[in-house]
Structure 1
């Protein structure tokens, strides 16, 4: 499987038993991530997505708090993922299929609801001191999967952090790795950026 060199330490941390970080450091780091999530207004970035089989796709990410995100895949890939209005939507234009589910039932919910208290469902995982990795999952709903967010420490970014990507696992332990680059904060994002065309509608 192709893996990002940046995110490889995260994957290893999830499979190898290591000593937990001190409670004070955990609390400070979680507080920083909470400030980051609440401080971001908009972010755009390029993304590289790698699935469990090693298939790699690229595209552009648009994120607007609270609750909006769009994964626009590269030209020729008939897929789109959009979060808006409390729902996460997956569209496959090649087969005219649309799947929707509540954002809170997805690992991405941790990114899209900054009002949630991270200390109730997230923990810092040990790793490179230049990075901050936080694993989040709902202990009451393991079927929602889990996500490990990876941040670089960056004094010029919101709360001193820049989101570098994440590793998400669903309830069947299928892994998806996303790496971000060219992150840009605070740029205006149009309200219609999170609209999508429904392929199930009949064409004239």
Structure 2
């Protein structure tokens, strides 16, 4: 079984003070902000790779602000849902849920109503290579909660991957493919009052 909670990175190592961004960095960060704030719904296939090489795949849904869902393909019995300010990690085999606040995880930055990559969010690195833009960030007042690196295609800009680092320096990588945006999603797909819900998370009506 994959260490799913490491994807949320609850207690990473201390972070060095971030350098001041260059003019080019600031321009790229403005593009990232505009892209993320313009993103409402997203559906994609994902592949998750843990530090130990364990892999899993499934379908990811994002409905900004506030909602996210990861359905893992069998044999992984896992379900991850964000809604109402909480992340639910549910093991279907054990029928055991665990819940943490969205605001206590670096992944929660993606789900904010308005994403601003300054102030209470610190950008620690901006890197460019082979048409990709990598932005590493963490919550300014709570760096111990984790850091996340978002990876974007630059032309056109599109979220392709993220990496989260846990307290032991282990990295969990999530790569997206077959990305669709602007979909009409079923609100019930993000309701975790009953973990048995959701036959069809996309509403095509």
Q: Aligned-residue CA RMSD in angstroms?
A: 1.8
1:71-130 C-alpha deviation (Å, 9 max, x unpaired): 000033210000001111111122222111111111111211142421231244223151
List alignment gaps of at least 5 residues for structure 2.
Answer: 1-18, 197-205
- TM-score normalised over the length of structure 1: 0.80
SS of match in other structure, 1:110 = helix
Structure 2 partner of 1:126 = 127
Structure 2 partner of 1:154 = 155
8 A Cα contact 1:70 1:81, kept in partner: yes
- TM-score normalised over the length of structure 2: 0.79
SS of match in other structure, 2:106 = coil
Q: CA deviation at 1:138?
A: 2.0
8 A Cα contact 1:30 1:119, kept in partner: no
SS of match in other structure, 1:35 = helix
- Name the CA distance, whole Å, in 2 between partners of 1:186 and 1:89: 24
- Name the CA distance, whole Å, in 2 between partners of 1:96 and 1:132: 39
> Is structure 2 residue 178 aligned with structure 1 residue 188?
no
Structure 1 partner of 2:10 = none
- Name the CA distance, whole Å, in 1 between partners of 2:188 and 2:129: 39
List alignment gaps of at least 5 residues for structure 1.
Answer: 1-19, 156-160, 200-204
For 1:25-174, list aligned pairs within 5 A: 25-120=24-119, 121-128=122-129, 130-155=131-156, 161-174=157-170
Q: Residues 163 and 154 of structure 1: is their aligned pair in 2 closer, same or farther, counting only changes over 3 Å?
A: same
Does 64-73 or 111-120 show the bigger shift? Answer: 111-120
- Name the CA distance, whole Å, in 1 between partners of 2:48 and 2:86: 21
- Name the CA distance, whole Å, in 1 between partners of 2:195 and 2:174: 26
SS of match in other structure, 1:30 = helix
